[in-house]
Amino acid sequence: MQTRRDILGLAWPAVIDNLLHTLTLTADMIMVGSLGASYLASVGLGGQVVFIFQSLMIAVTAGTVAMVARSIGEEDIEKARHVLEQSLVSGAVATFVLTPILYLLADEFLRIYQAEEEILVLGSQYLQIAVLGIGFIFMCLASAQALRGAGDTKTPLVISSLINVTNVGLNYILIFGKLGCEPMGVRGAALGTTLAFILGASIYTILLKKRKLKLYVTFKGFSLDFSTLRKVLAVGTPAALEQLVIQIGFLVYMVIITSFGTVSIAAHQIGLRIQSLAFMPGMGFSIAATALVGQNLGAGNPGEAERSGWEACKLSMMLMGIVGIFVFVLARDIAVVFVREEAVIDRAVVFIRLLAFGMPGIATHFTIGGALRGAGDTKWPLYASTVGLYGFRIPLAMALGLSLGWGVIGAWVAMVVEYAARAFFVALRFRRGGWKKIEVL
């Protein structure tokens, strides 16, 4: 019972945190969607390009959370602090280099999707502002992940809540031109989000420097410790590669989706927002599993680490099963919130209902994947994602959607099958126990 209480204590702030973030994205989509399907599709594509580059940050953040959790389990707060400082500085340098590259090549990245010209023009307007916030997003992600690895999921919740409220308020003002501002459309959506993350990064910096949190930073006599960075990257690089593999796979998958036209693209973007909401329990319990598995291994208790992973998975599946029932029943009521075109609504309903059948696989993949990452075993989630996307989702989407003529529905069926495949591979690895022998410090 103590394990369950520990899991719930870590998971509920993370679930609410992710829920608020997703609700913010959803509010953005509703505001942008009110301008029309092309605007909705353009922000979705632009955001996907940004996320491809954000995935590179995971090389730092995934290694950080595993090493911080293990250090806390060993009761070595100084080692945890040192890891965080190294991660923040190295990540900041990397994003400083990446930002101008993405800004200058925004149009070229978007053209990969082969969408209609109007969507590409709007997507470029969004992307050239959104990329300016990548460094601040990294600061927020790295700080939040380190605190979660240390067992503090409440502080990231509070700061994230402030970021999200600021984001929604600024986006409303800037998109529609309220309080004397000129209407900025998709540019306003990008600018509001960027300013909100600048605020969040500033708050994290102040709190960490003033030692108000479980972790802190001083940067006194700071110099890059390449030994520590190698360890961070050794754990984090497979996680970053996993995200890169996922995002490239999603890009290929999105090219297939765009071949079915603007209505399908818009419906897919609506479905992705609902999918993000439905994923919340899995993401929250994944964070709990990451922290507890890492801390228990640091404390020399691999048996308890394994129990906490399976218990987190069980709770995640229960909650996501309930969510699946709700989204299946309320699919149309949900879809009409986002857009007015009836054709888009009808197609989005199909996506949402298919999604409900993928909930058990999603819950298992998220939670057990998080447990493996907490142990520093970031390679197996990479393997599972690679096989799932390139062995199942993309070939099946092409076969069902294009060859057999099922259209976008065939592509969505392929997505559900892929979730089950990923779940199988990570669960198999966790049960076999090889992750218990991995050294991260």
User: What pLDDT digit, counting tens, does each position of 378-429 carry?
Assistant: 899 999 999 999 999 999 999 999 999 999 999 999 999 999 999 999 999 9
Q: Residue 337's pLDDT is what? A: 85
DSSP 59-70: HHHHHHHHHHHH
How far apart are the C-alpha atoms of 251 and 46, rounded to whole Å? 11
Yes or no: say if 38 and 122 are a contact pair by the CB < 8 Å rule: yes
Is the separation of the CB atoms in 257 and 410 below 8 Å? Answer: no
What integer is the mean pLDDT of 11-19? 84
Q: What is the pLDDT of residue 92?
A: 86
- Can you read off the two tokens belonging to residue 60? 């730092």
104: pLDDT strictly greater than 60: yes
Encoded tokens for 218: 């001083």
d(CA 335, CA 157): 28
Q: How many CB atoms lie within 10 A of CB 344?
A: 26
Sorted by where each begins, the domain ranges of the chain are 2-437
**Residue 441 banded pLDDT, cuts 50, 70, 90:** low
Non-local (6+) Cβ contacts of 388 within 8 A are 418, 419, 421, 422, 425
114: Cβ contacts below 8 Å, ≥ 6 apart: 255, 258, 259
Global model pTM greater than 0.85: no
Q: Would you tell me the crossing angle of helices 37-73 and 134-149 to the nearest 10 degrees?
A: 40
Q: Which two three-digit tokens encode residue 46?
A: 């632009």
197/136 Cα distance (integer angstroms): 6
Pure H helices in 105-133: 106-111, 117-130
| Beta carbons of 258 and 114 less than 8 angstroms apart | yes
Mean pLDDT rounded to a whole number for the chain: 89
Average confidence (pLDDT) over 217-222? 82
The pLDDT of residue 102 is: 82
Residues with Cβ within 8 Å of 430's Cβ and at least 6 positions away in sequence, in order, are 306, 309, 310, 368, 371, 372
* pLDDT band per the 50, 70, 90 thresholds, residue 2: low
Interior/surface letters 167-185, b for 16+ CB within 10 angstroms, e for the rest: bbebbbbbbeeeeeeeebb
Q: Which of 32-41, 126-135, 156-165 has the lowest mean pLDDT?
A: 32-41
Contact 204, 217 (CB under 8 A): no
Q: What gap in Å lies between CA 51 and CA 21, rounded to an integer?
A: 15
Mean of pLDDT values over 225-251: 86
Angle at 22 between CA 209 and CA 40, to 5 degrees: 120
Model pLDDT for residues 344-374, shown as the tens digit of each residue: 899 999 999 999 999 999 999 999 999 999 8
Task: Locate 128 and state its tokens.
Answer: 């050239």
Higher pLDDT, 432 or 22: 432
Q: Looking at residues 256-263, what average pLDDT do you find?
A: 89
CA distance between the termini of the chain: 30
pLDDT number for residue 1:
52
Rounded to an integer, the average pLDDT of 89-115 is 84
269 in Cβ contact with 335 (< 8 Å): no
- CA distances to 32, 173, 175, 186 from 40, rounded to whole Å, are 6, 18, 13, 9
Answer yes or no: are the C-beta atoms of 248 and 112 closer than 8 Å: no
Sorted by sequence, the CB contacts under 8 Å of residue 102 that are 6+ apart come out as: 49, 50, 53, 109, 127, 131, 134
